[in-house]
Amino acid sequence: MRYLPLAFDLRNRPCLIVGGGTIATRKARLLSKAEARLLVVAPDITDELRQLVMGSGGEYIVGTYRKELLDRAEIVVAATADENVNAQVSKDARARRLPVNVVDSPALCTFTFPSIVERGPLSVGISSGGSAPVLTRMLRAQIETLLSPGLGLIAELAGRMRDKVKAALPEAQRKDFWHWVFNGPIVGEIERGHKNEAERLLLDELQRWEHRPAPSGEVYLVGGGPGDPDLLTFRALRLMQQADVVLYDRLVSTDVLELVRRDAERIYVGKMKQFHSVPQDDINQLLVDLAKEGKKVLRLKGGDPFMFGRGGEEIDKLAEAGIPFQVVPGITAAIGCSAYSGIPLTHRDHAQSVRFITGHLKQGELVLPWQELIVKSQTLVFYMGLTGLPTISEKLIAHGMDADTPAALVEKGTTRDQRVIVGTLGTLPALAETHKVEAPALTIIGGVVKLRESLGWYQ
């Protein structure tokens, strides 16, 4: 994201527009809606632009651009047909650190105008940073059909009542109260044109909320899946948007984390090789403490929380403390990575069973029932086994598995950075070194790996 969407208060602020044609007029319409004071310089301007200038209490200067005009501006728009003039305006504005927009020239802009959907004080801006204006207009048209015309009146009511609600309710309750307002009968009254009735309902409900007991906290133990945000469940996404604070680990992808409520507090509790940023016992206690403060706590884990994710330990502590919790399963790494790499974990001709194995134990030692793993027509999937891959290969071969057994490493599975390294049980450790494979990486061993050549689909 190159351009950060921001909302500027332009009321009675001087905005310089260089140019007087139809494009300059379009920009002036938007600035006028924001109640900006227009300063326009051009040899001639359209009748509509002249009216917009007069209506804003601004000024029209007949002539050509000169940089001294920037002394009177807080925002600058260059909308002439002369590319050299536009480039000069951009250069001069940048030198003075003034926000500048040059129409149809993203490289010369420090801000762009989004396509806007308006509902009273509520506005939705869609921007491509100037790269695809037609696409943004198409999206705007789609959003227009989705948003009720009454949303503006609802937003105005919320604005009038905001201070009263803030004074009446503690922070932990306010978000839930507004959630009730925007999803309850008040919306229906507004859409029927009953503004007074809607306000009365809000005030009556506010009185009831004032006498409610303080809200209790809750913990959401949510599986974030293997990385691709499209693999999240609807329930996971809904709870991610409700949480007040999120505790997340290293295996949660950036794309998934971006879907958490923007204003939620974020606490990183991930673990890296030979380094624990927060000990597990401290994580467990932190979940309890935050919930006791009345907060909705999201414990977001990569994959599935009950698949080598220590989710059981965390909810055990919550249950002991009497903290309510929910568990939302996620697509575990073995399922996601195998699907995206084109390696089915079971297949009638190759594997009738599959075994999920952790690549390290609680004490940090790789002690496994190796003989039990040497089973014909079985797929082995090792989680967190990259560091121990040489030992895994050596032990399996020593206990009777053929060194030529097909094997694969799936690095950063289901994400745009996914890599699949295919070899054999005997060659995979060396391939991992050669290709500099990094965690998170999943190891798949068995005849099903041969199918990737024909079934691989995700690149």
pLDDT tens for residues 273-316?
A: 555 568 889 999 999 999 999 899 999 999 999 999 899 999 99
271 given a catalytic annotation: yes
In order, the DSSP letters of 98-154 are --EEETT-GGG-S--PPEEEEETTEEEEE--TTS-HHHHHHHHHHHHHHS-TTHHHH
With respect to residue 139, please indicate whether it lies within any of the assigned structural domains.
no
Was 333 annotated as part of a binding site?
yes
Say which CATH number the domain at 316 has.
Answer: 3.40.1010.10
Rounded to whole angstroms, the Cα distance separating 389 from 392 reads 5
Average pLDDT over residues 253-261: 94
Was 413 annotated as part of a binding site?
yes
Q: How many structural domains compose the chain?
A: 4
Q: What is the pLDDT of residue 227?
A: 94
Q: What is the pLDDT of residue 409?
A: 97
pLDDT band of residue 434 (cuts 50, 70, 90) is very high
Kindly list the distances between the CA atom of residue 216 and the CA atoms of 255, 290, 295, in Å, as whole numbers in the listed order.
30, 10, 7
Same-domain pairing of 393 and 304: no
Same-domain pairing of 231 and 306: yes
Q: Could you tell me the residue range of the domain that residue 415 belongs to?
A: 334-455
| Pairing assessment for the beta strands 75-78 and 100-102 based on DSSP bridges | parallel
With respect to residue 43, please indicate whether it lies within any of the assigned structural domains.
yes
Rounded to whole angstroms, the Cα distance separating 84 from 99 reads 19
Was 44 annotated as part of a binding site?
yes
Same-domain pairing of 204 and 225: no
With respect to residue 130, please indicate whether it lies within any of the assigned structural domains.
no
The last residue of a domain, from among 331, 352, 367: 331
Same-domain pairing of 326 and 341: no
pLDDT in tens, 347-394: 999 999 999 999 865 566 788 999 999 999 999 999 988 989 999 999
How many residues are there in the chain?
459
The last residue of a domain, from among 331, 365, 390: 331
Same-domain pairing of 327 and 350: no
With respect to residue 125, please indicate whether it lies within any of the assigned structural domains.
no
Place of tokens 């055990």: 316
Helix (H, G, I), strand (E, B) or coil at 406: strand
With respect to residue 432, please indicate whether it lies within any of the assigned structural domains.
yes
Same-domain pairing of 311 and 347: no
pLDDT in tens, 65-114: 999 999 999 999 999 999 999 999 999 999 999 999 999 898 999 999 88
With respect to residue 292, please indicate whether it lies within any of the assigned structural domains.
yes
pLDDT in tens, 41-68: 999 999 999 999 999 999 999 999 999 9
Q: What is the pLDDT of residue 273?
A: 53
Rounded to whole angstroms, the Cα distance separating 94 from 72 reads 15
pLDDT in tens, 153-183: 999 999 999 999 999 998 778 888 998 899 8
pLDDT band of residue 270 (cuts 50, 70, 90) is confident
Was 19 annotated as part of a binding site?
no
Same-domain pairing of 344 and 427: yes
The last residue of a domain, from among 305, 331, 357: 331
Choosing from 92, 228, 244, 249, the catalytic residue is 249
Was 324 annotated as part of a binding site?
no
Beta-carbon contacts of 458 under 8 Å, excluding residues fewer than 6 positions away, are: 340, 341, 342, 414, 418
Rounded to whole angstroms, the Cα distance separating 221 from 314 reads 9
Was 45 annotated as part of a binding site?
no
Same-domain pairing of 367 and 299: no
Q: What is the pLDDT of residue 191?
A: 86
Q: What is the pLDDT of residue 184?
A: 86
Helix (H, G, I), strand (E, B) or coil at 354: strand
Say which CATH number the domain at 108 has.
Answer: 3.40.50.720
Same-domain pairing of 49 and 107: yes
The answer to whether 356 and 345 are in contact (CB under 8 A) is no
Same-domain pairing of 231 and 301: yes
| Residue 355 burial (C-beta neighbours within 10 Å; 0-12, 13-18, 19+) | middle
Was 302 annotated as part of a binding site?
yes
The answer to whether 407 and 380 are in contact (CB under 8 A) is no
- Report whether pLDDT(272) > 70: no
Was 224 annotated as part of a binding site?
no
Say which CATH number the domain at 388 has.
Answer: 3.30.950.10
| Pairing assessment for the beta strands 325-328 and 218-223 based on DSSP bridges | parallel
Choosing from 175, 271, 395, 450, the catalytic residue is 271
With respect to residue 123, please indicate whether it lies within any of the assigned structural domains.
no
H-run or E-run covering 327? strand 325-328
Q: What is the pLDDT of residue 3?
A: 81
pLDDT band of residue 443 (cuts 50, 70, 90) is very high
Q: What is the pLDDT of residue 271?
A: 67
Q: What is the pLDDT of residue 415?
A: 94
Helix (H, G, I), strand (E, B) or coil at 418: coil
Same-domain pairing of 278 and 356: no
pLDDT band of residue 6 (cuts 50, 70, 90) is confident
Angle between helices 47-56 and 22-33 (to 10 degrees): 30
pTM above 0.85, yes or no: no
pLDDT in tens, 100-149: 999 989 899 999 988 889 888 888 989 888 788 889 989 999 999 888 88
CA torsion, ordered 276, 281, 287, 293, to nearest 10 deg: -120
Name the nearest CA neighbour of 304 among 220, 414, 225.
225
Kindly list the distances between the CA atom of residue 247 and the CA atoms of 73, 244, 286, 429, in Å, as whole numbers in the listed order.
45, 10, 9, 34
In order, the DSSP letters of 219-251 are EEEEE-BSS-GGGS-HHHHHHHHH-SEEEE-TT
Same-domain pairing of 401 and 418: yes
With respect to residue 127, please indicate whether it lies within any of the assigned structural domains.
no
Q: What is the pLDDT of residue 364?
A: 60
